[in-house]
Chains A and B, each alone.
Chain A
Amino acid sequence: MDSAQEAQNREAFRQAIVNTLERRLFYIPSFKIYRGVAGLYDYGPPGCAVKSNVLAFWRKHFVLEENMLEVDCPCVTPEVVLNASGHVDKFTDLKVKDEKTGNCYRAGHLLKDFCKDKLERETNLGEEKKAEFKHVLAVLDDLSAEELDTKNPLSDPYPFNLMFQTSIGPSGMLPGYMLPETAQGIFVNFKDLYYYNGSKLPFAAAQIGQAFRNEISPRQGLLRVREFTLAEIEYFVDPEDKAYPKFSEVAKLEFLMFPREDQVSGRSAKRIPIGEAVAQGIVNNETLGYVIGRVYLFLTYLGIDKDRLRFRQHLANEMAHYAADCWDAEIECSYGWIECVGIADRFAYDLCAHTDKSGVPLVAHEKLPEPREVGKLVIAPVKKELGLAFKGNQRMVVEALEVVCLVPLCIYLILRFFFGGFEIQRPWEKRSSGVESDPGI
């Protein structure tokens, strides 16, 4: 079958399923009687029931099974929290504006569509041109605002923050945002949760909640929407000991994995037992491997076809600099391979960022059976000298140094992973800026 025929079949299949879903009220565009709002959907009775079954199973499979600490934090979040996490500065997409109508588009999307269109339709394309388009598609996420300029009658690309902004309280002086992910609510509570857990590591905290992203141009139905349900888990572990006691329970599972090496060398995904992947160092550590195995079980129990499910490792350019290793559970559907669950070893980044901004140390302690003698770096700012040298700026300089002291204390690895809700088709694609779920790059 040629590729055009295949695309047509795919289109027909999708049309049939979407018709059924909307007719039987699995989901429908929200506010339809007012002609709707792009990127907002309602779950009708059957969809709502599927969603609550998926969430109930998620709770059972993860929270109950692992004795996780579930929390429930508000969506309205003051600016200071999202400043610390990096979202206020970096959670942006590059957008372009039609200079006449004022319509906005995602610059990355336009470029992607252009390249794909050219590659599929123009058979007489020169080999160099073809290679160039393919290259552009590959590096799309890394392009900066200048490189994205396509010389169309559009404005220059400029960053647009994807958070819904609002104002808390009547004064108008306290800006706030709707949470773009639920994880921050867990990080800021680390200290209390650690105490609740008897001041012991490892433990995991979980949250199910609404998240909000003011997408520039929502598309692909439920796959890229402006409001969605996230289920997130944060595992907190000792960075010096990422072994996991229950790893043996999943070690024999075998499923499609797509390591970095294979992607770069153009091979395809292959079946590897997760135990072997960890032993060979393909997956960074046991805890990460355990979670990958549990996610595999979760998705296949739900009814996801195991032959259309793979775990793809992030390439070096996709990962935040601080991350140790990232794997996405990708599910194949009519839109291609869609990232549905992200499993990332985020190192100590988030807790350090909040420690830094709030001044509250978010740290864990390990009591040593015997006192140990260690060589320790001691940074002691001499206030008097600094005062003389920096005058009014003295405090800032002192604090910056103290924060440097704190960093070695932030000894956690945080595995976080994201889940979409229903249909296992939820927005988790790359951002054009490469700063999607990894603020702070």
Chain B
Amino acid sequence: MASSGAPKSHIDAAVQSLNVLKLDKASIKTQLQSAVSSNTDAFRQALVNTLERRLFYIPSFKIYRGVAGLYDYGPPGCAVKSNVLAFWRQHFVLEENMLEVDCPCVTPEIVLKASGHVDKFTDLMVKDDKTGTCYRADHLIKDYCKEKLDKDLTMTPEKAAELKHVLAILDDLSAEDLGAKIKEYGITAPDTKNHLSHPYPFNLMFQTSIGPSGFSPGYMRPETAQGIFVNFKDLYYYNGNKLPFAAAQIGQAFRNEISPRQGLLRVREFTLAEIEHFVDPQDKSHPKFSEISSLEFLMFPREEQMSGQSAKRLQIGEAVSQGIVNNETLGYFIGRVYLFLTRLGIDKERLRFRQHLANEMAHYAADCWDAEIECSYGWIECVGIADRSAYDLSAHSDKSGVALVAQEKFPEPREVEKLVIAPVKKELGLAFKGNQKMVTEALEAMDEKVALEMKADLESKGEVEFHVCTLGKNVTVKKNMVSISKEKKKEHQRVFTPSVIEPSFGIGRIIYCLFEHAFYLRPSKAGDEQLNVFCFPPLVAPIKCTVFPLVQNQQYEEVAKFISKLLTAAGISHKIDITGTSIGKRYARTDELGVPFAITVDSTTSVTIRERDSKDQIRVNVENVASVVKEVTDGQSTWDDALKTYPLHSSGSAED
């Protein structure tokens, strides 16, 4: 506009109206946001009420006022969990012939020292100066920034940009940085408005002591994976000394969270299901990759996140061939996880695979993807799929002195050039006295590149400055102290540390998201109230069917008991309801537990089966009813098949 030479007044007016529009837009956006968030809150409230009232899960030790971050699964929740775990076993362990193990939760310190947990498994914490209440430093800053961005309309664009930037880099901030931000923003304790301490690291493991002496510290494991790594040698042998193979474990893990929040999503004790797939780092192809390569789903690669784009549908085969996903094995597991989650009933539109940004990944990791599921709390990481390279096995080899390696035998011996570093002990002893051992070890540990540089320097200059990390200083190494050469050798086998690809499943998080995706409200027949329904697939439904006599009489009750026996014999979990309440009420009760089928006894020869979501009913002979329910719940046939085979029953006003 400015360049077209329009009068300034016109431009001013246009700018002004634009500004008004912007303001409008901003206020509409806030209104929308608050409407959406109040809807989300209402939805979550209805869901959580139902879950707790029907004992899917409840806070533990409630009669003693509970403990934050500990939950019990009541009967239906426990059944859902054991169904999810049984399916996990079938889908992963059985399908891939994985070696399942079961290791204790109590773990001696040395194991977790080696894994790095004792030193690094910490969160930064601040303390209310007066009451001593503890908070996570990053949570406080996150809440502050989000609150400001949502509610403060007068904020300048620069300020908003700054807060957004802080949110983006929060994970990278050190204790000092976080402390400075807390001071800068004047953040105080949320409950008391008291002054806060400086952030300091708090180890998230539950500590204990093993045995009566008090000299053997231990921890409750923070993940199940370490139990597999320390058994690598035995498992490799069990597998006939062949790679690749996978080991799996389902078990409890413990994290002493500073401030547990978000219900089942961040808790202090939870069930993990982990797989460690061991592969040759030089060959990460997967023989069954073609079985899943044409699957297409939402992926959110690093590039897209950095450039502000959104997740997009990609074929996993293409993602691997384009190098977006590092290798076939990783791609294979991503595909299998997608199948696992969607078969459980996770909405595929609210599931995405997000790649870790460079700053999220450990330095040794080759590539990491999280399966994130969208729920009322946002996108939640439920499965992590990481290529951890050789890190864990190397760490335990180092600390235990037991080589956790694999061998590949060559069909013919190969001639290889090998680097040989030979420290001359006598000269080193004279020069470094007590430090000799450290210098020798550091020299032997040099990788090829460093060693060849040293060789060149020693030949040209005769001596070189060399950093010994165990001494924390540089020493001068002279030419006569070490010989470095490359020699040709015949090798019959290659010895290497396998790479580990680790899919790790937070079972509680998956279950919570499943609850959210399965939950809906529908009006009662009279239209006077909203009824709660969980549309679980039969695979995960806590109870597969209920049996009701239509009216209270002895004949019908006996038929109901007979059917119950048949169902028990067929291994179908079910519930009899012989209370006198109306059939509509009884349906509503079972819908709220996500029971997919209800059998109503309205005669002594045939009964009706009602499907939960469509409310369609079919009529089936008493003798056949158990096998029909079994076929449909086992997935051998579908409800549609049953509708074609058996006559439809029009219920009339039965639901009232």
A binding-site residues for B, Cβ under 8 Å: 24-25, 28, 30-34, 37-38, 40-45, 47-49, 51-52, 59-60, 64-65, 67, 69-78, 80-81, 95, 102-104, 160, 164-171, 173-174, 176, 178, 185, 188-189, 191-193, 196, 198, 210, 212, 214-216, 226-227, 354, 357-358, 360, 362
Contact = CB atoms under 8 A, between A and B. Distances in A.
Contacts of A170: 125, 134, 202, 256, 258
B244 to A, nearest CB: 16
Interface stretch (B65-73, B178-186, B409-417, B632-640): B65-73
B405 interface: no
Nearest to B107: A31
B103 A30 contact: yes
A196 B61 contact: no
Contact of B212 (A31, A72, A81, A104): A104
Interface in B424-467: none
B208 A38 contact: no
Contacts of A73: 60, 72-73
Given A43-B102, A45-B101, A170-B202, A70 B210 contact: no
Interface residues of B, number: 75
A212 B209 CA distance: 12
Given A30-B103, A43-B102, A192 B55 contact: yes
26 contacts: A30-B230, A31-B107, A34-B108, A42-B102, A44-B235, A45-B238, A48-B100, A70-B75, A70-B78, A73-B73, A74-B72, A75-B105, A75-B269, A76-B268, A77-B61, A164-B209, A165-B209, A166-B207, A167-B206, A168-B268, A170-B202, A176-B206, A210-B105, A212-B106, A215-B211, A226-B106
Contact of B64 (A76, A160, A188, A212): A188
B212 A216 contact: yes
Of B54, B106, B230, B233, the most chain A CB neighbours within 10 A belong to: B106
B198 interface: no
A14 to B, nearest CB: 21
A47 B102 contact: yes
Counting from the closest, the 3 A-B pairs by CB-CB distance are A43-B102, A72-B73, A358-B63
B254 interface: yes
B37 interface: no
Nearest to A59: B82
B213 interface: yes
Interface stretch (B27-35, B148-156, B568-576, B600-608): B568-576
B212 A160 contact: yes
Given A38-B211, A44-B101, A74 B106 contact: no
A216 B214 CA distance: 11
Nearest to B576: A67
A44 B99 contact: yes
A152 to B, nearest CB: 17
A64 B77 CA distance: 15
B213 A102 contact: yes
A104 B209 CA distance: 14
Contact of B234 (A28, A72, A80, A95): A28
| Secondary structure of the A contact surface, majority rule | mixed
B322 to A, nearest CB: 37
Kindly name the residue among A95, A176, A215, A354 whose own CB sees the greatest number of chain B CB atoms within 10 A: A176
A75 B75 CA distance: 18
Given A31-B107, A73-B60, A170-B125, A64 B212 contact: no
B81 interface: yes
Interface in B186-207: 202, 206-207
A95 B213 CA distance: 11
A386 B125 CA distance: 48
A104 B214 CA distance: 10
B380 interface: no
Contacts of A212: 105-106
Contacts of A25: 234-235, 238
B17 to A, nearest CB: 54
A438 to B, nearest CB: 22
A33 B400 contact: yes
Contacts of A189: 58, 62, 72, 74
Contact of A178 (B58, B133, B212, B220): B220
B212 A30 contact: no
Nearest to B254: A76
B101 A42 contact: yes
A40 B105 CA distance: 9
Contacts of A43: 101-103
A166 B221 CA distance: 13
Contacts of A178: 105-106, 208, 220
B132 interface: yes
A214 B134 contact: no
B94 to A, nearest CB: 10
B509 interface: no
Nearest to B238: A25
B568 A166 contact: no
Contacts of B89: 52
B252 interface: yes
